[in-house]
Chains A and B, each alone.
Chain A
Amino acid sequence: MATQSSNPEVLPLEAAHFDLLRVPLIGGFLRWRHSRTILQVPLFLVAVVMILHGLLGPTLAPKNLASVLTWIHFRGALVLVLLCAGNFFCLACPFMLVRNAARRLFRPRFPWPRALRNKWISVALFVVILFTYELFSLWSSPWWTASLAIAYFVAVLFIDGLFKHASFCKFVCPIGQFNFIASTLSPLEVQVRDHGVCDRCRTKDCIRGRRQDRIEQAAPGTKSHATGNANGFVILQRGCELALFQPQKVGNMDCTFCLDCVHACPHDNVGVRSRLPGAELMVNPIRSGIGYFSRRKDIAALALVFTFGALVNAFGMVSPVYAVEAWLTRLLSLSHAAPVLGVIFATFLVVEPAILLGAAAWLTRALGGSTLRLVPLAVRYSYALVPLGFGMWLAHYGFHFLTGILTIVPVTQSALANLGVHLFGAPHWTWTGMPARFVQPMELGFLLLGFAGSLFISYQLAEEDCAPQPMRAFLPWAAVCLLIGLASVWLMFQPMEMRAMLMGG
């Protein structure tokens, strides 16, 4: 399978990449067809415990497993795993465990509507979650947190109960979209090991699934975990439900790391391999299941909500937000939080990106001589801002995770104590996590890493667009990156307010 070379300086194709599936034990486990279920079951049990404690446990967020696990541990671990590895949380998604179980009872019948085969619904839901997070103080309400988890289960069952394939993951799930866009910066990618093998492959099981005729399956001694199909065959192992054809797949966008393609490939030609994080944002090939990034305004909008949403989400936790709210309340003579919040969101998620990207695109045309029109230019460069957004999410969620990582211990002790199980004495309420003074340098590191990544991607795009004068095309985008980067650093070093509600007090 590997291409051998006599030149010692040229690594064989296989050796050039680290492949997680080649790692002893871990690789063997992930290649096992039940590995996903094994990973999903513990997370499902955790979700059930969270829901029960959220609805029946203490109403104080710091003492409830629903709020502690969701807003401290899940979010923090999610972004750190995305940074260090890849989209492994989608792999272990507990919602999909329930969906797969439900699909034994309810077979979906409809294809997802063609008009909705884009990211607009999920982008809108992403914004709605950010908005309701602030409006209803989701982090301070175990009841709301548990209800959100229940709503998620219901939505998954409803949508994937009606529509075929992974419609919920690809077109609806806001957490999934967050993971997809962030995983463009992950160091691991599910990818083909040797394209020559794919060229010779006739069955294309990675996308079609491994199939067997019904007559063949009926033969004595045949053992299968088959899924029935009306077309006269059974699917022994499904292929990619998100329509990513491995030989033409580029990057991590839309990949849930479910490893169905790995299990389906009869040539063991799909790996989980290392790559340059963010490399997929610098190029614009046609991507299987996606098309051209440069033509996908919906994915560009997702990238912008991801980036600017990171700032809005952090802004909600610092002191100046009170001043802005009070000023807006006076200015607009409003008394309710929702319209004030709406103005803040519209400013940060629509007006600010439109002004910044519009101005930078105009300058790129004027200075760099780019022949692209304004909107395509803005779409193209919006992907370059993803590292800045990811840096901010990492800094924010990483802060809560690292400074509060041990709080799970006393909260669990307390929950068990309420059930009459006293583990290791009284709850250790003083256990929290790393001191903030140690975490702050890490936050700064995440922000600088994101800033450097965005600059690098912007320059690569500028070089491709305006080869004779790349610096002229690059400078406007560097200025945008600098503005967002400075805003991020300013936000991170504001005195933090562990707030309960916008317009509170």
Chain B
Amino acid sequence: MVRNRRWSVGFSVLVALAGLYAIGCSKSPGALRNIAFTYESDPKSPRAGLNTFTVTLTRASGQPLAGAHVSLEADMSHAGMAPVFAEARELAPGRYQGTIDLNMRGDWVVLFHIKLTSGETFDRQVELRNLQAT
């Protein structure tokens, strides 16, 4: 009886752990598949300091996605640092531009938070490694 209880406890813990890993590994970034996202940066190789990102959003058919709201968020790869935020403005239909201050050298992750006119939202993530001061 006691032996059965031991095995039950052990087995339950293993199943719970396996479930956690299965859920964790199957997480989806939640991005919309039928939308093309491209970006350019100025300077071309991002550096510590002010960087301007120009984002182009189009449907799979090539039609520009106008009227979206695009905001930028940049986080360092290490915890404990404040993220920086910026808003992008629409330069032309489907083209959005925002300037963000990557205020430290090192590795950054830039998140583009995008909200379409239909109300759908999704994020795109760009990793910038080893940013150096100019």
Q: Are A61 and B130 also in contact (CB < 8 A) when A495-B105, A498-B106, A499-B107 are?
A: no
Q: How distant is the Cα of A432 from the Cα of B103 in the complex, in angstroms?
A: 14
Q: How distant is the Cα of A313 from the Cα of B104 in the complex, in angstroms?
A: 20
Q: How far is the CB of B102 from chain A (nearest CB, A)?
A: 11
Can you name the residue of chain A whose Cβ is closest to the Cβ of B14? Answer: A154
CB pair A68 B79 closer than 8 Å: yes
Q: Are A71 and B78 also in contact (CB < 8 A) when A105-B6, A322-B130 are?
A: yes
User: Is residue B87 within 8 Å, beta carbon to beta carbon, of the partner chain?
Assistant: no
User: Is residue A429 within 8 Å, beta carbon to beta carbon, of the partner chain?
Assistant: yes
Q: How distant is the Cα of A67 from the Cα of B77 in the complex, in angstroms?
A: 10
CB pair B83 A62 closer than 8 Å: yes
Q: How distant is the Cα of A56 from the Cα of B28 in the complex, in angstroms?
A: 11
Q: Which of A20-77 touch B at CB < 8 Å?
A: 51-52, 55-56, 59-64, 67-68, 71-72
Q: How distant is the Cα of A429 from the Cα of B81 in the complex, in angstroms?
A: 9
Q: Which of A427-450 touch B at CB < 8 Å?
A: 429-433
Can you name the residue of chain B whose Cβ is closest to the Cβ of A61? Answer: B79
Question: Using Cβ atoms and an 8 Å threshold, which residues of chain A touch B23?
Answer: 55-56
Q: Which of A258-304 touch B at CB < 8 Å?
A: none
Contact of A497 among B5, B75, B130 (CB under 8 A): B130
Chain B residues with a Cβ closer than 8 Å to the other chain, count: 30
Q: How far is the CB of B71 from chain A (nearest CB, A)?
A: 12
Q: How distant is the Cα of A430 from the Cα of B78 in the complex, in angstroms?
A: 15
Q: How distant is the Cα of A403 from the Cα of B105 in the complex, in angstroms?
A: 16
Q: How distant is the Cα of A322 from the Cα of B109 in the complex, in angstroms?
A: 19
Q: How distant is the Cα of A444 from the Cα of B35 in the complex, in angstroms?
A: 52
Interface membership of chain A positions 138-163, coded 1 if the CB is closer than 8 angstroms to chain B and 0 otherwise: 01100100000010000000000000
Can you name the residue of chain A whose Cβ is closest to the Cβ of B73? Answer: A429
Q: Are A499 and B78 also in contact (CB < 8 A) when A105-B6, A106-B6 are?
A: yes
Question: Using Cβ atoms and an 8 Å threshold, which residues of chain A touch B60?
Answer: none
Q: Are A498 and B104 also in contact (CB < 8 A) when A55-B23, A429-B82 are?
A: yes
User: Is residue A118 within 8 Å, beta carbon to beta carbon, of the partner chain?
Assistant: no
Q: How distant is the Cα of A71 from the Cα of B9 in the complex, in angstroms?
A: 31
Interface membership of chain A positions 474-505, coded 1 if the CB is closer than 8 angstroms to chain B and 0 otherwise: 00000000000000000000011111110011
CB pair A56 B77 closer than 8 Å: no
Q: How distant is the Cα of A59 from the Cα of B23 in the complex, in angstroms?
A: 13
Q: How distant is the Cα of A497 from the Cα of B128 in the complex, in angstroms?
A: 13
User: Is residue A137 within 8 Å, beta carbon to beta carbon, of the partner chain?
Assistant: yes
CB pair B78 A140 closer than 8 Å: yes
Q: How distant is the Cα of A139 from the Cα of B21 in the complex, in angstroms?
A: 19
Can you name the residue of chain A whose Cβ is closest to the Cβ of B45? Answer: A505
Question: Using Cβ atoms and an 8 Å threshold, which residues of chain A touch B27?
Answer: 56, 59
Q: How distant is the Cα of A495 from the Cα of B105 in the complex, in angstroms?
A: 8
Q: Which of A393-449 touch B at CB < 8 Å?
A: 400, 403-404, 407, 429-433
CB pair A432 B77 closer than 8 Å: no
A-B pairs with the 4 shortest C-beta distances?
Answer: A404-B80, A505-B130, A55-B24, A500-B77
- Beyond the given pairs A59-B27, A64-B79, A432-B80, 7 more chain A to chain B contacts, judged by CB atoms under 8 angstroms and listed by A's residue number, are A52-B20, A139-B79, A429-B85, A496-B106, A497-B106, A498-B81, A499-B78
Interface, chain B (partner A; CB < 8 A): 2, 5-6, 9, 17, 20-21, 23-24, 27, 75-83, 85, 104-107, 109, 111, 127, 129-130, 133
Contact sample, A vs B, 12 pairs, CB 8 Å cutoff: A62-B77, A105-B5, A106-B6, A143-B24, A429-B85, A498-B104, A498-B107, A499-B107, A500-B78, A500-B107, A501-B129, A504-B107
